Structure 1
């Protein structure tokens, strides 16, 4: 038997069939054997007392590289270092907030160049669906290897910034869905009724309202559900496979479940922050907790946890959407940037909240963070601990309490609503294709080992 590159021994390993105390052998970046007494290896890691999970596949992450006027938001180096530290080994990058937005062959080439030799984890890309790229841009992005597409049904981007993203009007959504259907790839959708939300916000501001709780009230549940229904109906007409992003209410998940039962090819995700925070605490936390759709009340939070346990949700993502500090340092919630920095803490907090506090099975945990999103977004070498898969592994130290400090964050701008929270699990080690990229003792490995994934 040839010597393996790495053997991880004595850990509780989450396989597709469930967890088992077993050893894993790695050869040339792939999982080569699973069992006992596997032989010799150049390096042997004793994972006694640790959970060995597939690395997270986060299908909703924003990196601002190339950044233009947003160059100080989040680059590939800090963004992917955050992923390595947090146990995220692969992510699918959104087509905004880079400049230019990723909407055609030229802009995606600039993105790939911007990330060259900077990636600490593997990165696949979304292509955008916007009004000005339905005459060839979708096909160019397909040929350039995007994993999926993304659009907004509500206001996005800045019309004063050249090359920024733009919302898809109803015709763009319909025509784009027809074209994307021919590629066989998925259209991920930010589904909110922006017209109603904007009108409610205008009225609130006229009344002098400024708090985060008042901001949340201008984006009620029905503005999310109505847009989800509209997206599903167009998907049914066009045959486009769709995925609803960051669903913040159980009613939205229910719409997706009903459509799936009727044969529509639709899935949905929620975000960790919707499972963790509630509206009543937002103003105490501050603008770092502002996002869209907004963080809702306790009933919505508990309803989303029920949907987690029912299996209705595909995955739990970070929607990591950082910005520069000045955009959050506002006293008026309607003026603050809407986005949460969270990718570094998706795995440890979800493990603590889901597995340790609520009894979510380890298999369901791994399915939600890795297996199901990898399968849905056509990343066949990712998502599972199985022979032949990439050896993307995260070793989790359970019942290991720490308080998150701003200094712990690898982000370019070190703020997050999770700062100050006690988390009762830690990422002990992260491996990308069998190579150590992070350890609790020594931090993130300096050499970037990540690669772009082309589909």
Structure 2
């Protein structure tokens, strides 16, 4: 029987009860009734259990999932709001079942590399987010002294590049700079997240009309070489490090060996690396360009193997949109970024379902795992005491992506025209259904001590 977790002697009337025969809980998927009091999940009972509530919704066979947590989102505001912005990015996130994002320190102007820039970022986001939003800081040459201020101001960690980022105001760290950043992060008990490509293995080209030419300019060895340097720096300093958007599956063995050796290392990949393949990208299809690049089908299968056996920790979007004019031309000159925040859940579910995996696996990879990475332990799970961030999802619904229907700022995505299975029906943030036509209710999040 359901009881009030605060005062079991008093009669309880919950604000809302959501019932679903397919509720994805930490211990598995089963019929359940989720009772919400205020902004939190109060208790979880049996599907048929009578529960006093001001409002009850029976979802029947629709699935009830925790809200997705996407820790890799480029919002680009302030400064490059014409690329994206808090209003458009978070509306798209909500439509895709994402209830929490953590915003990258670039490509905004100024980049989030000191407390003044973080204040500008927070001011730009205030009152404009439909989902809860946190922020990464940036580690660039010369800002070591700024990291503690950013940490004390609540960023969830620090991003760096080992190769040029694509924007001049966010330069990469060399090997010495990477070691210094790791030492600072270790002293702060924070987290360094790394775009790991070794510039010594990157090749310039003036033109690349076909994807194979572009792929040749950023070989797998660029990732594996940089990851070795990250591992060495983490091992020497004791820093926690996280490898961003892994595309090269051959690096997994070294990451796993480092973890076995006691290095505090985690790794993510993205839906586009798990569902797309270089062999199927047409000439001139620059919506598919990202860095590191989408690799071949054999590599994709190896990434899936790493995800299934736990060598890959999480799956996040790396949503990095730009104006359509920047995605034209050829693969050498087009902006390298995939716009996909609204589509991650159905894209991943379509592929995972085909391979025989379950919604509980999606929740582990895209909800609980990313929440745990940044210490948001009230996010990403349906359990008593957690924020009532929920997604009603139709796992059988078949539909086709139309880029012009998506809510991020520009109608460009490599998934345009793709047939998918599974569609978000509604998204709930802290106990209330998100209405993107109403005023936004998203909050700004700050890191809590571990």
What's the TM-score, normalizing by structure 2?
0.94
Distance 2:208 2:107 in 1: 28
Partner residue of 2:33? 23
Query: Per-residue displacement from partner, 1:424-447 (whole Å, max 9, x unpaired)?
Result: 110011111111015xxxxx3422
Question: For this pair of structures, how many residues does the alignment match?
Answer: 435
Listed as ranges, the matches of 1:325-404 within 5 Å are 325-330=324-329, 332-354=330-352, 356-404=353-401
Equivalent position of 1:441 in the other structure? none
Aligned match of 2:66: 54
Runs (5+) with no aligned partner, structure 2: 1-10
Work out the CA distance in 1 between the residues paired with 2:333 and 2:269.
25
CA contact under 8 A between 2:271 and 2:315: conserved in structure 1?
yes
List, as ranges, runs of 4+ consecutive aligned residues in structure 1 with deviation greater than 6 Å: none
Q: Deviations over 1:280-317 (max 9, x none)?
A: 22225711110000000000011111112112111111
Corresponding position of 1:316:
315
Deviation at 1:361, TM superposition (A): 3.0
> Is 1:94 paired with 2:104?
yes
Q: Deviation string for 1:22-81 (max 9, x for gaps)?
A: 1101111100010032522222111111111111111111001102xx231001000000
Of 116, 125, 143 in structure 2, the residue corresponding to residue 106 of structure 1 is 116
Corresponding position: 1:140 with 2:149: yes
**Displacement, 1:172?**
1.5
Give the match for residue 445 of structure 2. 453
2:393 and 2:133 map into 1 onto residues whose CA distance is 22
Equivalent pair of 1:394/1:429 in contact (CA under 8 Å): yes
Contact 2:271 2:348 in 1 (8 A): yes
After superposing the two structures, state which structure 1 stretch, 312-321 or 444-453, moved more: 444-453
Aligned counterparts of 1:158 and 1:17: Cα–Cα separation in 2: 44
Partner of residue 168 from structure 1, selected from 141, 166, 173: 173
Paired residues of 2:107 and 2:167 also in contact (CA < 8 A): no
Name the SS of the counterpart of 1:14 in structure 2.
strand
Q: What displacement does 1:253 show?
A: 2.1
> The residue matched to 1:301 in structure 2 has which SS?
helix
**Shift in Å, 1:188:** 0.5
How far apart, in 2, do the equivalents of 1:291 and 1:389 lie?
Answer: 35
Write the distance in 1 (CA, Å) between the matches of 2:64 and 2:332: 42
Cα shift readout 1:117-155 (whole Å, capped 9, x = no counterpart): 001001111000001211x21011001100111000011
Counterpart secondary structure, 1:77? helix
Q: Which residue of 2 aligns with 1:153?
A: 162
The one-character-per-residue Cα deviations of 1:248-275 (angstroms, maximum 9, x if unpaired) are: 1221222211111111110000010001
Match in the other structure for 1:6: 16
Q: Deviations over 1:379-428 (max 9, x none)?
A: 12111111000011111101110011122200111110011000111001
Q: Report the secondary structure of 2:82's partner residue.
A: coil
**How far apart, in 1, do the equivalents of 2:252 and 2:224 lie?**
9
Q: Deviations over 1:198-226 (max 9, x none)?
A: xx224xx3xx6432221011111111111
Aligned to 1:201: 204
Aligned CA distance change for structure 1 residues 38 and 169 (closer, same or farther; 3 Å): farther
Q: Which residue of 2 aligns with 1:412?
A: 409
Structure 1, unpaired ranges of 5+: 439-443
1:397 alignment partner, SS class: strand
| 1:286-325 equivalences in 2 (<5 Å) | 286-325=285-324
Higher helix share: 1
Q: Equivalent residue of 1:41, what SS?
A: coil
Q: 2:55 aligns with which of 43, 47, 55?
A: 43
SS in 1 for 2:381: coil
Contact 2:132 2:443 in 1 (8 A): yes
CA contact (8 A) 1:213 1:283 kept: no
Residue number among 174, 186, 194 corresponding to 1:189 in the alignment: 194
Partner Cα distance (1:313, 1:6) in 2 = 36
